[in-house]
Chain A
Amino acid sequence: MPEEISRRHLLGRTGAAAGLLMLGARRGAAEAPAPGAPDAPAPTASGGETPSVLVDLTRCIGCRACVRACQSANRLPETEAGALRTAGAGASQTAGTDAPASWPRQELAFDLWTAVNLNKKKDGNGRERSRFVKQQCMHCLEPACVSVCPVAALYKTEAGPVIYRAERCIGCRYCMVACPFDVPRFEWNSGLTPVIGKCQFCAQNRLFRGQGPACAEACPTGALKFGGRNNLLFEAHARINARPETYLPHIYGEHEVGGTSWLYISDIPFEELGFKRDLPKMPLPALTWDVIDKIPAIVAVLASLFAAVSLGLKRGEKSV
């Protein structure tokens, strides 16, 4: 515990600054992105590839260090549910995990961008199987939220992360409806300045400064691994192939809705752990783009048609 806190303290207070200094020394300070600039050079931290995180559900112990790291890196309020809970005296243990039965659930919110919860499922033998599942924005390769946002408040950076720019947002919440993973959250109790909240992949505060996301760095068990997407897919396949009796041959996020930056592997079927099932393999924005790209043609056809009909009939009217 003390070790954990001191590490977090170090990261939170000095880590970012130190990282930035080191980066500046290596790349030259002029290259450091201006604060708030949505685009930055392809992140060196992921080797120039799409930055991704591989989540190995078999390795997660539910310590929620990632949640706390996220809160402190993104200056989100520290909620009670995010606080580290150890199995206290008298707390009954859930079979197969170290979690107490009274593990407080946490829900994603506009100010809680990642959550770790216990998902229990009885298997065929009546034995309870449970896994901790970390939720956050999946950072789709072709995000539906970005395609529906009328003002580009949600924005896919060239580097990969999908970020939210509150200064543009009108609060229409179409992103929440469109998201296949139901991730974006809204600030329901703000009268005039509500915002959408979702994981930013630590894009502006860490990634563009050469660091991986805070959650992945904080994970003590290797359940979260940050890297380039292709490398992580390779690694995921390798882990599955090395222990086929444990892992299911499915990398969640490899093909779902055209692929996501967050990838999951598991030993329990994903749908039993609350993951969305039956998602199309095609990127969702194509569904509306197929309609939108016909609009100019429709306008041209209708305009000439109506003009011709109207003028033609008018002439006929006069000659009668």
Chain B
Amino acid sequence: MMVETAGWSVLILCSGIFLWGAWAAAVDRRPPFLAPALTGALSLLWSVAAVVLTVRFINGLGATTAMTDRFPWGVWIGLIQAGVAVSSGGYVVAATVHIFHIRRFEPVLRPMVLTAFLGYCFVAASLFIEVGRPYRLWHPIAMWQHHSIMFEVAWCVTLYMTVLALEFAPVVLERFRMHTAIRVMHIILMPLVIAGVILSTLHQSSLGSMFLIVPQKIHPLWSSPLLPVIYLISSVAVGLAMTMIASFFSSKAFGRALDASLLKSLASAAGLVLGLYFLVRAVDFTARGAWTSVLSPAWLGAFFALEMGAGVLWPALLFATAKSLDDPRRLVAGSFGVVFGVTLNRLCVSWFGMVPHTGPVYFPSSMELIISLALVAAAVAAFALAARFLPVFPAQDEGHARPEQAPRHAPLAPPSSLRSAKGPAPQVPAPEEA
């Protein structure tokens, strides 16, 4: 009891400080105590998480999580699925730029590949903690069981992480001026991107297919033979939303100009995908006659309304109105709506939707959420570090604010010669229109 109280306090304190930091960045304010508060929260969170991890690997999942035999998959599975979904920006933008050759989106390609790679690192780390015997995570690669969706997902995720690492490799190679290697990467880029998009299509949808085998355990609001389609379409929507979020916050954090026209195109595309998503879910609902179960129980109906309202309809409305298209903050707010909606959707499929079948036997322990928050914080911190030391963002030298001019980053920023270095790789795009 004491432990749980302390755990929840840490959790609330740290998330509060992180939200404050995100808010301050969004509204361009830098309260004086923010930086030390963020550092303090991170140190506290990571120290506590280290203790929790130790206990988990000594005394087991039972000692750290609220999972039991009656509820064997908890909040971690939902968050792992959400993590895969929000990492979809990598394949969505890669397909846009390299398969459909819409070059305008090239400036956001590298940040999104990095976001995706770090997102999958979050997923892999979470799985490492979640499964009973993490040192056997390689078993699906050696012991085939091709009837299992999990087997397919394991292969796809492993291969796709490799693809992402290779897609990001030119950034690191550029940093160290390894031009021969960059040339090699350029040659294999196209098949690599196509492989990445196929692998993503497969496992984004397969995460939904994983729940096809338990139709009788999931509430009719979320139990559908179309789960793979629903998962795939929503992953595209959330990929576009994450691209907007990453562009927005990068511009804030690194003093870069925000490309408003790019954001606008992303929002329009996201609006279309959300519209399609809504249509598919409405048709699916009607075909299954699921509308009748919207109010039994009412709280699940409320979750569903929240998922569709705040996560689909509201953002779609924002992305479709001319007024908000010119206001990056509204677009980012809408994007957060999409991320929230998809996260809630994954949690509803794997957790809330199972509660009518299992009974109210599970609520996550503070330790489960501490681990997840610590891993998310680590991914965000890794993004910030990579963005600072590697040429993740395209060089800006046409009158835009240059990162070098922002004094707080000056000592850490790489030399400008590196940022504008143009290897043979096409990843360094020409600056957008002035």
Closest B residue, CB atoms, query A317: B101
Interface hits, B156-202 → A, CB 8 Å: 190, 193-194, 197-198, 201-202
Residue B405 lies at the interface, judged by CB distance under 8 Å to chain A: no
* Given A188-B67, A303-B198, A150 contacting B151 (CB threshold 8 A): yes
Q: Assess whether B253 is interfacial by the CB under 8 Å rule.
A: no
Interface residues of B in 81-119 (CB under 8 A from A): 95, 98-101
A135 to chain B minimum Cβ distance, whole angstroms, is 12
Check if B216 sits within 8 Å of A292, measured CB to CB. no
CB distance from A95 to the nearest CB of B (A): 27
Contact A185 B213, beta carbon cutoff 8 Å: no
B60 touches A194 (CB 8 A): yes
Min C-beta distance of A315 to chain B, whole Å: 10
Bound complex: CA of A177 vs CA of B206, how far in Å?
A: 16
Known: A288-B209, A288-B212. A194 touches B149 (CB 8 A): no
Would you call A310 and B190 a contact (CB within 8 A)?
yes
Q: In the complex the two chains form, is B202's CB within 8 Å of A295's CB?
A: yes
Measured between beta carbons, the chain B residues less than 8 angstroms from A182 are: 70
Tell whether A5 is near chain B: CB-to-CB under 8 Å.
Answer: no
A279 interface residue (CB < 8 Å to B): yes
Interface check B381, CB cutoff 8 A: no
Whether A191 pairs with B59 at a CB distance below 8 angstroms is yes
Residue pair A188, B152 in contact (C-beta under 8 Å): no
The chain B residue sitting closest to A190, CB to CB, is B60
Instruction: State whether B59 touches A292 (Cβ < 8 A).
Output: no
Q: A177-B72, A177-B73, A288-B209 are in contact. Are A306 and B99 (CB under 8 A)?
A: yes
A84 at interface by CB-CB < 8 Å: no
Inter-chain contacts of A276 with B (CB < 8 A) = 216
Contact status A108-B69, CB under 8 Å: yes
Asked if B215 contacts A280 (CB within 8 A), the reply is yes
| Chain A residue nearest to B63 in the complex (CB) | A189
CB neighbours of A285 from chain B (8 A): 147, 213
B98 to chain A, nearest CB (A): 7
| Contact bitstring A290-313, B, C-beta under 8 A = 1, else 0 | 011001001100110011011001
Which one, B131, B149, B197, contacts A291 given CB within 8 A? Answer: B149
Given contacts A169-B133, A303-B194, contact A188 B68 (CB under 8 A): yes
Name the CB-closest residue of A to B208: A291
**Chain B residues, CB < 8 A from A310:** 98-101, 190, 193-194
Q: Is A278's CB within 8 Å of the partner chain B?
A: yes
- Chain A nearest Cβ from B110, distance in angstroms: 19
Do B61 and A188 touch (CB < 8 A)?
yes
Given A171-B133, A310-B190; A148-B149 close (CB under 8 Å)? yes
Set of chain A residues within 8 Å of B206, measured between Cβ atoms:
291
Q: Chain B 199-236, CB within 8 Å of chain A: the 1/0 string?
A: 00110001001101111110000000100100000000
On chain B, the number of residues with a Cβ less than 8 Å from chain A's Cβ atoms is: 58
Q: Does B389 contact A (CB under 8 A)?
A: no
A29 within 8 Å of B (CB atoms): no
Q: A148-B149, A306-B197 are in contact. Are A173 and B133 (CB under 8 A)?
A: no
The interface bits of chain B over 54-74 (1 if a CB of A lies within 8 angstroms of the residue's CB, else 0) are 001111111100011110110
Q: Among B43-51, B136-144, B287-295, B318-326, which stretch is in contact with chain A?
A: B136-144
Q: Is A215 an interface residue (CB 8 A)?
A: no
Q: Which chain B positions have C-beta within 8 A of A22? A: none
Shortest C-beta distance, A39 to chain B (Å), equals 16
Residues of B within 8 A of A200 (CB): none
Nearest chain B CB to A111 CB, angstrom units? 12
Q: Does A144 contact B (CB under 8 A)?
A: yes
- Binary contact track A140-168/B, C-beta < 8 Å → 1, others 0: 00001011111110000000000000001
CA distance A194 to B61 in the complex (A): 9
A150 contacts B140, CB within 8 Å? yes
Contacting residue for A173 out of B72, B95, B197, B214, CB 8 A: B72
Do the beta carbons of B57 and A288 come within 8 Å of each other?
no
A146 and B217 CA atoms in complex are apart in Å by 18
Interface flag for A287 (CB, 8 Å): yes
Give A169 to B150 CA distance when docked, in angstroms: 13
Residues of A close to B68: CB separation below 8 A:
188
B61 and A292 contacting across the interface, CB-CB below 8 Å: no
* Distance of A174 Cα from B137 Cα, bound (Å): 14
C-alpha gap A298/B124 in the complex (Å): 26
Task: Check A309–B213 contact: CB distance below 8 A.
Answer: no
Q: Contacts A189-B63, A191-B57: A287 and B212 contacting too (C-beta < 8 A)? A: yes
Contact of A169 among B59, B132, B212 (CB under 8 A): B132
- B137: chain A residues at CB < 8 Å are 170
Q: In whole angstroms, what is the CA distance A303 to B199 when docked?
A: 10
A176 within 8 A of B: yes
Q: Are A147 and B148 in contact (CB under 8 A)?
A: yes
Q: Which residues from A are CB-within-8-Å of B148?
A: 147-150, 174
A287 lies within 8 A of B216 (CB): no
**Would you mind naming 27 contact pairs between A and B with Cβ atoms under 8 Å apart?**
A109-B69, A147-B213, A148-B149, A148-B213, A150-B154, A151-B151, A152-B143, A168-B139, A168-B143, A169-B133, A170-B131, A170-B137, A172-B130, A173-B132, A178-B213, A180-B214, A186-B72, A188-B61, A195-B132, A284-B213, A287-B212, A287-B225, A288-B147, A303-B198, A306-B95, A310-B100, A310-B190
Other A-B pairs beyond A288-B210, A302-B197, 6, CB < 8 Å? A150-B139, A174-B210, A180-B216, A186-B132, A187-B132, A287-B225
9 smallest A-B Cβ distances: which pairs? A171-B132, A188-B62, A194-B132, A176-B72, A150-B151, A150-B150, A152-B145, A313-B101, A173-B72
